[in-house]
Amino acid sequence: MESKTLKHFNEVLGNVDFVRIHKSYLINAKHIVTMTPDNVLLLNGEELPISRRKRRALKKDNALTKFWGN
């Protein structure tokens, strides 16, 4: 088995419903319930951090506008 990085999967998947919110997290946007400046809440109840580096780009992403809470 060959290991791959999240960067590799992000490139392979392109912008098709997947969002990189942190160096450790690549998530399916279809599973987002809401977003705050610090966290993303997913349908399964899991709350994941948004990195400071990714926050500004995520705020500018028009496809994610509907998920932003406070």
Q: Which CATH class is domain 6-60?
A: mainly beta
Quick one: pLDDT at residue 63? Answer: 84
On the 0-12 / 13-18 / 19+ scale of CB atoms within 10 A, 40 is: buried
Quick one: pLDDT at residue 8? Answer: 80
pLDDT digits (tens, 9 = 90+) for 2-61: 888 878 877 777 767 888 899 999 999 999 999 999 999 999 999 999 999 999 989 888
Q: What's the pTM value of the predicted model, to 2 decimals?
A: 0.79
Ordered by start, the domain boundaries in the chain are: 6-60
